[in-house]
Amino acid sequence: MQIKKKIRGICHWWEPECLIRSVGHRIDLSTDNGDTFSTLCYLNYEPHKRLASMSRLGSRLLRTNPKHFIKLTPELFLIFAAGSIYQLNLKTKSAIAVSSIIGSRPLRVAFDGESVFYGEYCSNPNREPICVYKSSDFGITWDVCYEFSGIRHVHGVFFDAYSSDIWITTGDYGEEAAIWRTDSKFSSIEKVVSGGQHTRVIDLLFEEHRIFFGTDAPEEPNWLCAMSRDGSNLERIAEMSGPVFHAKKIAGELYFSTACEPAKSTVYTHSELIGISNSEVQTLSSLKKDKWSMKYFQYGQIFFPDGPGVEGQLWYSSFACKNDQFSFLLTRG
């Protein structure tokens, strides 16, 4: 694959004729796959956050970059950004804050076609109870649908279109590093796999008979893995250069990215983009972490936009690495 386009900003949603990016607190829409953009709206941040979002370092310092874009209807999206949840309306070109985020921020958000789910993510050193929240009114109100005990936090909540199940990843150590499965009503919950850093996972990618993921283990070797749906078989596919934070599936192709995060035994200097196509594993990009502090200005990462994407192409965004907060389009041929 080769780079065809480079644009300013972070891409958040991508499907044919709809590419949404953020530049600071401004939200833009492109209907020609990134050739041109029009402004949809500005997120109504508090004054100090709005000021911070006008610079790349300021947005990183105060964590003002929008995180998740969840498509609810053809015209309505839910955005998680800067401590609040917004409804973005494409028709009226407006974004309204409808509720607050519980915890610092959710790492992954799920939508099953009717309800939205996210899990609480916070430091939680004392392992206080951690909740999964559900909204059935497009993000306006949230109810606790499950409470975990004995875990640090929730990494992600995912909707599995093959089975209509809800899957959850939790961290970080021992038995709390686990992959769980339930239904949309959380009538019962099953711990599918757990036990150590080999089951410390953020993202899950679903196929009919297997689930793919990369491990998130800063102090141990990391792997791309394929797991049977009942957890009975876990196969290592390839060793990774660092912890895997993000994953994306477009048609039959899988993409993963590693992060530059602090570790006692290893220095992660580059965020790498890995693709799997026709069982071939290939490094597609390697971006060096920039000079700014990981503690204050965030880890080096490569983001993928939400949405189905377009077969044979990939948009990705650099964050806290070379070309910080620029996005690239990779295409085949």
User: What pLDDT is recorded for position 117?
Assistant: 98
CB 171 within 8 A of CB 119: no
Rounded distance between C-alpha atoms, residue 113 and residue 59, angstroms: 32
Confidence of residue 103 (pLDDT cuts 50, 70, 90): confident
Confidence of residue 61 (pLDDT cuts 50, 70, 90): very high
Judged by DSSP in three states, 222 sits in: strand
Structure tokens at 141: 């109100």
Confidence of residue 332 (pLDDT cuts 50, 70, 90): confident
* 137-149 confidence digits (pLDDT tens): 999 999 999 999 9
Instruction: Provide the whole-model pTM.
Output: 0.96
Q: Which domains are delineated in the chain?
A: 2-247 (2.120.10.30)
Structure tokens at 120: 């609480």
Whether 1 shows a pLDDT value over 90: the answer reads no
Whether 62 shows a pLDDT value over 90: the answer reads yes
CB 216 within 8 A of CB 245: yes
Handedness of CA 22, 26, 27, 30 (dihedral sign): negative
Confidence of residue 259 (pLDDT cuts 50, 70, 90): very high
CB 48 within 8 A of CB 55: no
CB 155 within 8 A of CB 169: yes
